[in-house]
Amino acid sequence: MLSSRSFSKLFKGANCSGKIYIFSTTLPIAVAPGKLSNREDKKLLGTEKEKALFSPANDVYTKLGEECAQSGCAVDLFVFPNNYVDLATIGEVCRLSGGEIYKFNYFSIDNDGERLLDELKRNFQRTTVFDALMRIRTNTGIRPVDFLGHFYMTNSTEMIFGTMDADKTVAVELKHDDKLPTEGNSYVQVALLYTSISGQRRLRVLTLALTVTSSYASLYPLCDLDTIMNYTMKVAIRSILLSTPKSIRDSIITQTANMLACYRKHCAQSTAAGQLILPETLKLLPMYAAALLKSDLLTGTQTVTTDDRSWLIHRLMSMNIKGSSAYLYPRIYPL
C-alpha cells in the first residue's frame, strides 16, 4: 500500500497532471498507512447513529485526496467486492480529487464484463481536463454561499479539481442578500482554469445574464424542475452525514410543500380553496419528491448495505442533471 503522499509525488516529480486507476476487491487490512477494519453495523441503518457509518474511519484517504487534487491528479476506483470494503472511507480520495467510483458486486465476467468495458471506454473517451481551478463571480446583491460536488476547497471561493470531466456537475447556491436592479440583468460568471489533455494551460469563462423580477408570476414559468431536483438531492446527500434519515425526508416534504404553497398564495388566489393548483413547470414536483423519498439513498433500511449507500452518495453527488432525472424516475422499455 502506498503512503498518503506517494500518489501525488508521482505527478509532482513528473511535473504533469494525470489520473490514477485503482482496481480493488477487498478491504485494505494490511499493516500499512490506510489500514481499515470492518465497522459495518446494519443495526445502525435508519437510526440517528447511521451517519457514523458514512463518515471516514480515518483521515489517511482524506489527506491523500487533498494531496492529489493539489497535484492535479485524480483517482478512479474500480471495486469488485464480495464483502464490506468501507467505501465511505476509501472513497474520500476519489471525492476530493474529482475522481469516480465504479462498483461491481460479486463480479462475474459473463454478467458484468460488458458493463466494465463500457465504463472503461466512457472513462477514457469522455472530455476530461486536469489540474482545474473554478471560481464563481457575481454582481452586487447575490453571492455564492454553498458548493456541492466532488472537489477540494482551501478557501470559501475556489474549487480545486484533480480532474473534471463531461459527466460531472457542480451545484452552487446563490444567496440574495442585497437589492438588485429592477431593470436590466444580474450576472453570474464561472471561470475555469485548467490543463487540457494536450498539456496546454487554458482559461474558460462562462457568463450568464439573468433577468431580475419581483413577480412570482414571472418566476414560476421559468423554473427548471430537473435542476431543482438535482440540487435538492445533493443537499439531502450532504445532510446524511449531519442528520437523521427522518429529518432529511421531513425537510424534503416541507420544501416541496412550501414551493407549491407559495405558488398557490401568490399566483392562484382566485381558485377554489380545495382545488389542487400546480404551476406548469413544477406539476411533476410531487412525483419526483416522492421518488427521492423512496429511493435507496434515503430509505434508511437494512435491505441496502452500507457500501451500496456510500456508493450512491458518491455517485449522485457529482451526477449531472440528465443522470439524476433518470435515477429518480427510471426509463421503462417495453419488452
DSSP code string of 255-271: HHHHHHHHHHHHH-TTS
Contact indicator for 128, 154 with CB cutoff of 8 Å: no
- Examine residue 192 and state whether it is found in any structural domain, yes or no: no
- Examine residue 19 and state whether it is found in any structural domain, yes or no: yes
Contact indicator for 22, 75 with CB cutoff of 8 Å: yes
Q: For the chain, where are the E strands, in sequence order?
A: 18-24, 73-79, 101-103, 128-138, 142-148, 158-165, 171-176, 185-195, 201-211
CA distances from 268 to 85, 111, 222, 227, 286 (A): 52, 53, 17, 24, 18
Nearest to 69 by CA among 154, 170, 175: 154
In this structure, what CATH number is given to the domain that contains residue 296?
1.20.120.730
Nearest to 18 by CA among 9, 27, 26: 9
What is the pLDDT tens value at each position of the chain, 335 positions in all? Answer: 444 444 445 545 546 688 999 999 999 888 777 889 999 988 888 888 888 999 999 999 999 999 999 989 999 999 999 999 999 999 999 999 999 999 999 999 999 999 999 999 999 999 999 999 999 999 999 999 999 999 999 999 999 999 999 999 999 999 998 888 777 889 999 999 999 999 999 999 999 999 888 889 999 999 999 999 999 999 999 999 888 888 999 999 999 999 999 998 888 877 666 677 889 999 999 999 999 999 999 887 778 899 999 999 999 999 999 999 999 999 888 87
Contact indicator for 318, 168 with CB cutoff of 8 Å: yes
Count how many residues are written for the chain: 335
The last residue of one of the domains, among 125, 157, 183, is 125
For the chain, how many structural domains are there in total?
A: 2
Question: Domain range spanning residue 119?
Answer: 6-125
| H-helix segments, 213-284 | 216-219, 225-240, 245-267
Cell of 171: 451545484
Cα separation of 190 and 76, whole Å?
Answer: 26
Cell of 104: 461491481
Neighbours of 113 (CB within 10 A): 12
- Examine residue 117 and state whether it is found in any structural domain, yes or no: yes
- Examine residue 148 and state whether it is found in any structural domain, yes or no: no
The last residue of one of the domains, among 74, 91, 125, is 125
The last residue of one of the domains, among 78, 99, 125, is 125
User: Roughly how many angstroms between the first and final C-alpha of the chain, as a whole number?
Assistant: 47
Cα separation of 219 and 45, whole Å?
Answer: 40
Sorted by sequence, the CB contacts under 8 Å of residue 321 that are 6+ apart come out as 169, 226, 227, 230
Co-location of 119 and 219 in the same domain: no
Would you say the C-alpha torsion 7, 11, 12, 14 has a positive or negative sign? Answer: positive
Cell of 138: 457575481
Helix, strand or coil, per DSSP, at residue 157? coil
In this structure, what CATH number is given to the domain that contains residue 58?
3.40.50.410
**What dihedral angle (degrees, nearest 10) is formed by the CA atoms of 274, 276, 278, 280?**
-120
